[in-house]
Amino acid sequence: MTQKTIRELITEMNHRNVSLEEIELARAYEKSLIPDDTEIPDQDSIYEVFSLIEGNVLIQFCAPFTGGNDVQIPKGIRLRVLEHCDEKPLVIACSPIDSEEHSDMFVDKKDLNNDLYAGYYLTIPTLSFIRNTKKIS
């Protein structure tokens, strides 16, 4: 099994072609880092960030493309967990409870002002989410 994460492979993509097999091996490696007894947050549950978290913002547009970038999610933000696409997800997709109120914290003004802008959500590595949030409902 490879000892590289998906992020490491994406960085390598700037210098070489990365095969689908390498990406699948990286996914398997990252999943192996999540203990089997890890309690995955349920969809629609609410968590509060108690320590700064590194994550990603994915920006939705009414068009066949999306945008995004790395973000820091500060202490005190309350997050609603979105649907998982996997039993043991590598990231937790979530949305701030007051999404519009916090949009300027996570989305560039040019994207917010784009006529095709349709919202955003955050993704946080599963273990980071579990270690830096607490369930409030």
21 and 58 in a single domain? The answer is no
pLDDT at res. 8? 79
Q: Considering the domain boundaries, does residue 39 fall inside one?
A: no
Nearest to 23 by CA among 31, 46, 124, 94: 31
Listing from the earlier edge strand, what are the strands of the sheet with 53-61? 66-73, 53-61, 117-125, 91-96, 78-81, 46-49, 133-135
* Token pair of 7 as six digits: 């992020």
Q: Considering the domain boundaries, does residue 8 fall inside one?
A: yes
Number of folded domains that form the chain: 2
pLDDT at res. 2? 60
pTM: 0.86
Cα separation values, 20 from 25, 36, 52, 63, Å = 9, 25, 33, 26
pLDDT at res. 40? 95
Q: Considering the domain boundaries, does residue 64 fall inside one?
A: yes
* Token pair of 18 as six digits: 């990365």
pLDDT at res. 16? 76
Question: Do residues 47 and 135 make contact, with C-beta atoms less than 8 angstroms apart?
Answer: yes
Report the chain (137 residues): mean pLDDT per 10 consecutive residues. 73 77 89 94 97 95 86 97 92 95 94 94 96 97
